Amino acid sequence: MGWLRITLLCAASLLAACSTGTRLAYNNLDTLVSVTVGDYVDLQKPQSAALKRELKTVWDWHRGHELPLYAATLRDLADTLDGGNPDRAEVTRLLQQVEDGLDRIAQTARPGLARLLASLDDPQIASLLAQQQKDLDERLKEWADETPEERRVRLSEKSEGRIDDWLGRVLPTQQALTERRIAAAEQRGAFDVAKQRAEAEQQQALFAAVLASRQQPGFEARLHALNQTEDAVAERDANRERLRSYFVDLAATLDVRQRNHLARRLRDFAQDCDVLAAKPIDPPN
């Protein structure tokens, strides 16, 4: 896992966070990212200071530019829910805005990411790659230790828990949608341990090769290109289209109680974004 992916995962977790914890999580995001990075590599003091500066730059921009956009989008969706179930166009528009937001974070964070990675010495790079491999081994071991039925139950319960959190309850039709989504993922080999290992280790090898050139001109461009190969773009587009289809189908099943519950959650989340956008980040220590 590269540092860009760490940053994106942290940002995505905020988009999905429960309203009561959003402000606390966001205000401590620099600590969260630093701790996560620390799981992969021990930074020297100058590198830690540089990481704090880079995070401040990204999150100052994020507070001032992105959070107001989130608030407007969330209130717009809540208003739509007041009038009925969102249609395909509404769901597609919302998800496109989320995807565009994540892409903007990646673009904004990329220069700082490249500078930090370029500052790592060989032992630090070795530690980063070793931890990446360990993560893969642990994830695939969990899959290998499960029977297909156990995996279906675990993933179904996880998905239904998220639905319940946002909608207040899960309807039988929504449970069936989740089960069909998991079955489709299984059919296309998403949980095939050998297939996933081969693909992941190929990506890790490419990442390692780019890291080996970190002191050479054009490193940032090569780092970006890792996620822009024909296969990577095709896979990303396919995953996004599957997610859109799932949410379109899910939106069509909402009952009045669920719409009201979701609208309240979205407006609470929008208020959190307003408060956070108005509070500047403290200067780094």
Print the domain residue range for 106.
3-277
pLDDT at 281: 59
Model pLDDT for residues 50-108, shown as the tens digit of each residue: 988 888 888 888 889 999 998 999 999 999 999 999 999 988 988 888 889 888 888 88
Alpha carbon dihedral 84, 89, 91, 92, in 10-degree steps, equals 180
pLDDT at 206: 92
Would you say 230 and 157 are in contact if contact means Cβ atoms under 8 Å apart?
no
pLDDT at 254: 96
Residue 109 belongs to a domain: yes
Residue 23 belongs to a domain: yes
pLDDT less than 50: residues of the chain: 1-4, 13-14, 16-20, 283-284
Give residues with Cβ within 8 angstroms of 139, minimum separation 6: none
Residue 282 belongs to a domain: no
What total number of domains does the chain contain? 1
pLDDT at 285: 52
Residue 58 belongs to a domain: yes
pLDDT at 5: 53
Q: Tell me how far apart the alpha carbons of residues 54 and 183 are, in angstroms, rounded to a whole number.
A: 41
Residue 53 belongs to a domain: yes
